[in-house]
């Protein structure tokens, strides 16, 4: 096998943080690789969360979480525009149901003000009713700068832009060994062996394991599962509505969040589990989610539910203690050249680019960072048909008749968009990858209508054998073959 | 902006019949907008027989019924536009449709909603567990197997005993899969008695009543499902769960009228069923907008949809002209046998009625509503026979629905279907009813094109 040149930087983990690090580093004349265990980016917590741009009032003043979240929040709109990622600054309400909650809200407002969050305001019961009469509770805090976005598209956009600026992506390359030599690290990932001068550990739920592979023990990640329901499209809520957080909980409490795509999601639960890959939904939690959500928004009906999903938080705070330990972002003195990012849970998505800048700054202490003159931070995503004016839609169809063929009826996704999703720059051909990029199959019929059409496109127009059409890569085939 | 007297949204049996009805009422320009590349809707994937008894007094497969329904619309001069996805409808009956030729606006004098229904999903019934590949709604699996030549699995559990689930249990068996069981949460099966008989009993597929899936196992592909007994309220009974190893879960857990288009115009929907609310003339709450078939109320038979489509179309056509509307036909009562087949009683499978036939000591039959039932019953005790419906592959890999020209021995159905999997027929279109294979099994039955 030909000897691969040594990379300057080897990033482990293709979540939002890993991809943001890749993109930030592509601003400089560095050779950068990113290895991801899954067949696509955003396969872990980055793609399984509430999809909220947090303002930054939940975190302790002076913490990295607070500082980087506020920075991230304030830079998010411009970032999303540059990367062509859908987002909306909706504002958010935290609702109190008793006096203790009201005290919590006063504390959070004070904390948020100190963190530099803009525009936080406490609302009386009447002000809450006037703002959102459909919501329960006796008072609230409003955060006008909170927003919602599509975290999958966001991560994909970071990755695509990083790739366009020269980063090499190695998907389906789980890292199994890291050896520190005198000059370089030797990394085994999938069937390949790489050498690199620096290793950036963005492995999320597996960050402690990756650190241990490099010989740096002592970190521990406690997986904490959050279950969600997805409701059919509704305009019942214009902004996320959260309960006042409870002390010691693993998360922010079951909340209601309108998505950028017009659905409503409710969740998450917070349950410490043993297996970081266990994203199964469970009956008791599903029932609990619905009960708690009904407290926030009386009148919810189970028949509005169209789906469920789970994410797992990479928490450092152990069970029993709950709450949040601050992000660890540092070069290990025990292993120079290894930059560890440990415990990047919420608000890691919002903070992803500031985290990446901090990583860049750390690398800059020991490496010369020369600007890459060809760097271009703009990225264009799939040209969407839905939500455009009739004139724009007509122009799209005139330029490409595939825009005139609606494949996904629930989300109005056309064949042209599916083509762009299938031909994505990262080369991902899984159904999940196509789904999250094009947003097909995500609606109320769960792909009952469009899945057969997409499968037909993949097998007849893109030459995949039926067995090669997978949901999430090897081991997850959708079909056993041809019928005959 | 194109102007039509009556525009019909949906080109399945209801919409095609509405087109005919509108023309019969005297409407000049009548247009059917169909999103798919061909008319017929879900009928195209329903390659089994049992269609047409009411409307055509014939036993047809779904594709055959679709052809006739289309011919009846063409015959009276209705226009049909396929590949047109309606995305807009106003209370003033302006329709927006997306087509490969561009955005199309239609101003309709009257509108008929014939948008059908969709299947309830795993998400809608919130089955706990992982989210691997291998969970399909029965209708999606039917589409994949019968029209896309894609096999969905090898070891299958079916949840829900609706007709599509039962039909698919048989279909998968005929195509070589092992259907391990059908689980039904309620105390009685949802589908027709005839389908319990000919889709499950004929193939020894167990039916577990008051049983549901309480967990889905497997990270990447389904590896098993957990079944639990449920009480009268449908709540799982602790201690009853057992795991079944399978690679596929098929869901046949109900149909929901599809009315997102009607809702755009403000058509009132039933809060429980999601069906359109209509008056006795099949008119919705929006004047000039009529509704028929499964988007109004899910029906057991395509034939009933056709009857209602004719009436809705007629009234739409009459409304435009200021003529008197006709009261809608009586809601077809549930004349078809449902429930578990009774011991000692034969369920005639020749038509959806499913007459319960007994044979007396003197050899005379009782319970059959037509002479065919007698012949069926006498044959059934002697040597059970069924018409085989399946597909054969064309050279280009697409599938042609076929059926045997007469009933063949029941015990050989799986073997015959297996043999037909190795048959390839030319791409050249075979006319409907054309003999594809002459007596391939040596039992005097030809295999004929059923499309």
CATH number at residue A105: 3.30.9.10
Residue A275 shares a structural domain with residue A402 = no
What was the pLDDT predicted at A250?
66
Residue A152 shares a structural domain with residue A205 = yes
Asked whether residue A480 is assigned to any structural domain, the reply reads: no
Question: Could you say which of A404, A412, A455 has the minimum Cβ distance to residue B102?
Answer: A404
Taking 90 as the threshold, does the pLDDT of residue A4 lie above it?
no
Query: Which CATH number belongs to the domain containing residue B408 in this structure?
Result: 3.10.530
Cβ atoms of A446 and B354 closer than 8 Å: no
Bridge partners (DSSP) of residue B7 are B31, B111
Residue B372 shares a structural domain with residue B403 = no
Question: In this predicted model, what pLDDT tens digit does every residue of B344-378 receive, in sequence order?
Answer: 899 999 888 889 999 999 989 999 999 999 999 99
Residue B112 shares a structural domain with residue B34 = yes
Determine whether the interchain pair B85/A406 forms a contact, defined as Cβ–Cβ distance below 8 Å. Answer: yes
Question: Could you say which of B133, B139, B150 has the minimum Cβ distance to residue A483?
Answer: B150
Strands B408-409 and B385-386: antiparallel
What was the pLDDT predicted at B333?
58
Phi, psi at A212, each rounded to 5°: -65, -35
**Residue of B44, B85, B116, B123 for testing the chain A interface, max A β-carbons within 10 Å:** B123
Asked whether residue A421 is assigned to any structural domain, the reply reads: yes
First to last CA, chain B: 36
Of B329, B364, B381, the position where a domain reaches its end is: B381
Asked whether residue A177 is assigned to any structural domain, the reply reads: yes
* The pair of three-digit structure tokens given for residue A40, joined into one six-digit string: 């696509």
Tell me the C-alpha distance between B28 and B3, whole Å: 11
Residue A3 confidence class, pLDDT cut points 50, 70, 90: low
Determine whether the interchain pair A404/B139 forms a contact, defined as Cβ–Cβ distance below 8 Å. Answer: no
Please state the pTM of the whole predicted model.
0.96
The predicted model gives B168-193 an average pLDDT of 96
Determine whether the interchain pair A482/B397 forms a contact, defined as Cβ–Cβ distance below 8 Å. Answer: yes
Asked whether residue A475 is assigned to any structural domain, the reply reads: no
Asked whether residue A105 is assigned to any structural domain, the reply reads: yes
Question: The domain containing residue A242 runs over which residues?
Answer: 87-147+222-313
Tell me the C-alpha distance between A393 and B97, whole Å: 11
Residue of B nearest to A465 (CA): B150
Determine whether the interchain pair B140/A477 forms a contact, defined as Cβ–Cβ distance below 8 Å. Answer: no
Residue A109 shares a structural domain with residue A237 = yes
Which has the closest alpha carbon to B197: B350, B82, B303? B350
What kind and span of H or E run contains B41? none
Q: Is A54 a catalytic residue?
A: yes
Chain A environment of B254 (Cβ under 8 Å)? none
Residue of A nearest to B392 (CA): A484
The predicted model gives B203-225 an average pLDDT of 98
Provide the domain count of chain B. Answer: 4
Residue B126 shares a structural domain with residue B247 = yes
Of A359, A381, A403, the position where a domain reaches its end is: A381
A446: which residues sit within 8 A by CB, 6+ positions away?
A: A306, A307, B121, B122, B123, B137
Determine whether the interchain pair B149/A394 forms a contact, defined as Cβ–Cβ distance below 8 Å. Answer: no
Tell me the C-alpha distance between A82 and A199, whole Å: 28
Residue of B nearest to A479 (CA): B152
Chain B environment of A408 (Cβ under 8 Å)? none
Asked whether residue A369 is assigned to any structural domain, the reply reads: yes
How does the average pLDDT of chain A come out, rounded?
95
The predicted model gives B394-405 an average pLDDT of 94
Of A381, A410, A433, the position where a domain reaches its end is: A381
Which has the closest alpha carbon to A366: A198, A167, A216? A198
Residue B103 shares a structural domain with residue B194 = no
Residue A3 shares a structural domain with residue A81 = yes
Residue A344 shares a structural domain with residue A242 = no
* The pair of three-digit structure tokens given for residue A437, joined into one six-digit string: 């990029």
Determine whether the interchain pair A483/B100 forms a contact, defined as Cβ–Cβ distance below 8 Å. Answer: no
Of B356, B381, B406, the position where a domain reaches its end is: B381
Asked whether residue B329 is assigned to any structural domain, the reply reads: no
Determine whether the interchain pair A448/B392 forms a contact, defined as Cβ–Cβ distance below 8 Å. Answer: no
Within the 304-343 window of chain B, which residues sit less than 8 Å (CB to CB) from chain A?
Answer: none
Of A355, A381, A407, the position where a domain reaches its end is: A381
Residue B131 shares a structural domain with residue B108 = no
Provide the domain count of chain A. Answer: 3
Taking 70 as the threshold, does the pLDDT of residue B161 lie above it?
yes
Tell me the C-alpha distance between A418 and A440, whole Å: 8
Asked whether residue B109 is assigned to any structural domain, the reply reads: yes
A463: which residues sit within 8 A by CB, 6+ positions away?
A: none
**Residue of B131, B271, B273 for testing the chain A interface, max A β-carbons within 10 Å:** B131
Residue A430 shares a structural domain with residue A337 = no
Share of chain B above pLDDT 70, in %: 99
Taking 50 as the threshold, does the pLDDT of residue A1 lie above it?
no
Asked whether residue B341 is assigned to any structural domain, the reply reads: no
Asked whether residue B366 is assigned to any structural domain, the reply reads: yes
Asked whether residue A473 is assigned to any structural domain, the reply reads: no
Residue A356 shares a structural domain with residue A411 = no
Taking 50 as the threshold, does the pLDDT of residue A137 lie above it?
yes
Residue A121 shares a structural domain with residue A241 = yes
Residue A109 shares a structural domain with residue A152 = no
Residue of A nearest to B421 (CA): A484
- Give, in degrees to the nearest 5, the angle at Cα A232 between A230 and A238: 90
Determine whether the interchain pair B149/A475 forms a contact, defined as Cβ–Cβ distance below 8 Å. Answer: no
Residue B432 confidence class, pLDDT cut points 50, 70, 90: confident
- Does B409 contact chain A (CB < 8 Å)? no
- Does B392 contact chain A (CB < 8 Å)? yes
Asked whether residue B87 is assigned to any structural domain, the reply reads: yes
Cα–Cα distance list, A172 to A39, A40, A353, A428 (Å) = 5, 7, 24, 10
- Does B171 contact chain A (CB < 8 Å)? no
Determine whether the interchain pair A483/B130 forms a contact, defined as Cβ–Cβ distance below 8 Å. Answer: no
- Does B219 contact chain A (CB < 8 Å)? yes
Residue B184 shares a structural domain with residue B238 = yes
Question: Could you say which of B100, B148, B215 has the minimum Cβ distance to residue A455?
Answer: B148
Tell me the C-alpha distance between B195 and A443, whole Å: 31
Question: In this predicted model, what pLDDT tens digit does every residue of B49-88 receive, in sequence order?
Answer: 999 988 898 889 999 999 999 999 999 999 999 999 999 9
What kind and span of H or E run contains B5? strand B2-9
Residue A55 shares a structural domain with residue A164 = yes
* The pair of three-digit structure tokens given for residue A466, joined into one six-digit string: 């039926």
Taking 90 as the threshold, does the pLDDT of residue B196 lie above it?
yes
| CA–CA min distance A475, chain B (Å) | 6
ipTM: 0.96
Pick the residue with more confidence: A5 or B146? B146
Share of chain B above pLDDT 90, in %: 90
Asked whether residue A327 is assigned to any structural domain, the reply reads: yes
Residue B135 shares a structural domain with residue B243 = yes
Chain B environment of A279 (Cβ under 8 Å)? 130-131
Question: Could you say which of B144, B153, B220 has the minimum Cβ distance to residue A476?
Answer: B220
Residue B199 confidence class, pLDDT cut points 50, 70, 90: very high
Chain A environment of B130 (Cβ under 8 Å)? 279-280
Residue B113 shares a structural domain with residue B12 = yes
Query: Which CATH number belongs to the domain containing residue A411 in this structure?
Result: 1.10.10
Residue B338 confidence class, pLDDT cut points 50, 70, 90: confident
Determine whether the interchain pair A305/B101 forms a contact, defined as Cβ–Cβ distance below 8 Å. Answer: no
Q: Is the peptide bond before B80 cis (omega within 30 degrees of 0)?
A: no
- Does B104 contact chain A (CB < 8 Å)? no
| CA–CA min distance A331, chain B (Å) | 35
Query: Which CATH number belongs to the domain containing residue A16 in this structure?
Result: 3.50.50.60
Residue B104 shares a structural domain with residue B138 = no
Question: The domain containing residue B351 runs over which residues?
Answer: 346-381
Residue B127 shares a structural domain with residue B106 = no
Question: In this predicted model, what pLDDT tens digit does every residue of A52-90 receive, in sequence order?
Answer: 999 999 999 999 999 999 999 999 999 999 999 999 999
Cα–Cα distance list, A197 to A12, A185, A332, A391, B403 (Å) = 13, 6, 14, 53, 68
Determine whether the interchain pair B140/A393 forms a contact, defined as Cβ–Cβ distance below 8 Å. Answer: no
Residue A277 shares a structural domain with residue A168 = no
**Residue of A408, A448, A459 for testing the chain B interface, max B β-carbons within 10 Å:** A448
Tell me the C-alpha distance between B392 and B402, whole Å: 7
Residue A274 shares a structural domain with residue A406 = no
Residue B238 shares a structural domain with residue B360 = no
Chain B environment of A392 (Cβ under 8 Å)? none
Query: Which CATH number belongs to the domain containing residue B192 in this structure?
Result: 3.50.50.60
Cβ atoms of B1 and B103 closer than 8 Å: no
**Residue of A228, A440, A446 for testing the chain B interface, max B β-carbons within 10 Å:** A446
A414: which residues sit within 8 A by CB, 6+ positions away?
A: A385, A402, A403, A404, A405, A406, A407, B98
What was the pLDDT predicted at A76?
97
């Amino acid at each position: 096998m030909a000897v691969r040149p040594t990379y300057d930087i080897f990033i482990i983990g293709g979540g939002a943080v890993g991809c943001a690090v890749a993109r930030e580093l592509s601003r400089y004349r560095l050779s950068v690789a990113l290895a991801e265990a899954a067949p696509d980016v955003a396969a872990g917590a980055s793609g399984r969360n509430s999809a909220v741009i947090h303002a930054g009032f939940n975190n302790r003043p002076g913490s990295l979480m607070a500082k980087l979240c506020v920075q991230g929040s304030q830079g998010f709109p411009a970032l999303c525009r540059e990367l062509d990622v859908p987002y909306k600054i909706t504002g958010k309400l935290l609702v109190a149901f008793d006096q203790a909650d009201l005290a919590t809200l006063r504390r959070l407002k004070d904390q948020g003000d100190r963190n530099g969050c803009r525009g936080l305001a406490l609302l009386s019961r009447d002000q809450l009713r006037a703002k959102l009469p459909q919501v329960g509770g006796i008072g609230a805090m409003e955060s006008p700068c909170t927003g919602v976005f599509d975290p999958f598209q966001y991560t994909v956009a970071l990755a695509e832009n990083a790739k366009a600026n020269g980063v090499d992506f190695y998907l389906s390359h789980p890292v199994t060994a890291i050896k520190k030599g005198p000059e370089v690290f030797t990394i085994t990932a999938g069937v390949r062996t790489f050498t690199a001068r620096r290793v950036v550990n963005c492995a999320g739920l597996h960050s402690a394991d990756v650190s241990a592979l490099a010989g740096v023990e002592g970190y521990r990640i406690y997986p904490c599962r959050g279950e969600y329901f997805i409701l059919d499209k509704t305009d019942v809520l214009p902004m996320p509505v959260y309960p006042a957080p409870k002390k010691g909980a693993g998360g922010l409490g079951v909340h209601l969040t309108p998505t950028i795509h017009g659905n409503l999601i409710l969740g998450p639960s917070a349950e410490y589990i043993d297996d970081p890959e266990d994203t199964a939904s469970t009956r008791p939690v599903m029932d609990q989610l619905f009960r708690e959500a009904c407290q926030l928004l009386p009148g919810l009906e189970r028949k509005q539910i169209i789906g469920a999903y789970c994410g797992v938080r990479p928490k450092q705070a152990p069970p029993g203690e709950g709450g949040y330990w601050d992000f660890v972002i540092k070069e290990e003195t025990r292993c120079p050249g290894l930059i560890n990012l440990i415990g990047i849970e919420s608000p890691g998505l919002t903070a992803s680019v500031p985290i990446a800048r901090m990583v860049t700054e750390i690398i800059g202490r020991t490496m010369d960072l020369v600007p890459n003159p060809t760097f271009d931070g703009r990225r264009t995503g799939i040209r969407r048909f839905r939500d455009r004016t009739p004139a724009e839609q007509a122009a799209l169809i005139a330029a490409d008749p595939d825009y005139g063929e609606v494949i996904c009826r629930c989300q109005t996704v056309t064949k042209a968009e599916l083509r762009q999703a299938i031909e994505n720059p990262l080369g991902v051909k899984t159904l999940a990858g196509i789904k999250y990029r094009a947003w097909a199959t995500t609606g109320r019929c769960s792909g009952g209508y469009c899945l057969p059409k997409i499968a037909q496109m993949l097998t007849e127009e893109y030459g995949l054998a039926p067995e090669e059409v997978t949901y999430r890569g090897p081991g997850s085939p959708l079909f056993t073959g041809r019928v005959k | 902006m194109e102007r039509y007297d009556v525009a019909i949204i949906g080109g399945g049996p209801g919409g095609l019949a509405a087109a005919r009805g509108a023309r019969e009422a005297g409407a000049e320009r009548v247009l059917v907008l169909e999103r798919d590349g061909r008319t017929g809707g879900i009928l195209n994937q329903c390659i089994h027989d049992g269609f047409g008894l009411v409307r055509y007094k014939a036993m047809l497969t779904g594709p055959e019924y679709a052809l006739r329904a289309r011919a009846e619309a063409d015959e009276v001069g209705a226009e049909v536009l396929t590949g047109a996805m309606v995305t807009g409808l106003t209370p003033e009956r302006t329709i927006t449709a997306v087509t490969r030729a561009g955005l199309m606006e239609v101003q309709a004098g009257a509108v008929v909603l014939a948008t059908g229904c969709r299947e309830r999903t795993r998400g809608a019934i919130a089955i706990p567990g992982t989210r691997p590949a291998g969970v399909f709604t029965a209708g999606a699996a039917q589409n994949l197997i019968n029209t896309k030549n894609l096999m969905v699995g090898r070891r299958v559990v079916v949840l829900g005993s609706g007709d599509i689930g039962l039909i698919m249990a048989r279909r998968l068996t005929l195509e070589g899969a092992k259907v391990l069981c059908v689980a039904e949460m309620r105390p009685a099966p949802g589908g027709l008695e005839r389908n319990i008989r000919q889709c499950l009993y004929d193939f020894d597929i167990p039916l577990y009543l008051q049983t549901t899936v309480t967990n889905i196992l497997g990270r990447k592909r389904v590896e098993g499902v957990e079944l639990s007994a449920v009480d009268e309220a449908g709540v799982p009974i602790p201690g009853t769960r057992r795991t079944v190893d399978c690679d596929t879960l098929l869901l046949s857990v109900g149909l929901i009228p599809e009315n997102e288009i009607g809702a755009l115009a403000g058509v009132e929907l039933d809060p429980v069923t999601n069906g359109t609310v209509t008056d006795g003339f099949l008119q919705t709450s929006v004047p000039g907008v009529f509704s028929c078939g499964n988007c109004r109320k899910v029906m057991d038979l395509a034939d009933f949809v056709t009857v209602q489509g004719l009436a809705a179309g007629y009234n739409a056509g009459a409304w435009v002209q200021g003529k008197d509307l006709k009261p809608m036909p009586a809601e077809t009562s549930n004349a078809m046998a449902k429930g578990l087949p009774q011991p000692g009683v034969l369920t005639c499978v020749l038509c959806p009625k499913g007459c319960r036939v007994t044979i007396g000591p003197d050899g005379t039959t009782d319970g059959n509503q037509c002479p065919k039932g007698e012949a069926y019953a006498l044959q059934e005790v002697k040597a059970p026979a069924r018409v085989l419906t399946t597909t054969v592959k064309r050279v280009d890999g697409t599938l042609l629905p076929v059926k045997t020209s007469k009933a063949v021995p029941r015990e050989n159905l799986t073997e015959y279907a297996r043999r037909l999997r190795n048959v390839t027929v030319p791409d050249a279109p075979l006319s409907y009813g054309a003999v594809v294979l002459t007596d391939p099994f040596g039992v005097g039955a030809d295999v004929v094109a059923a499309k």
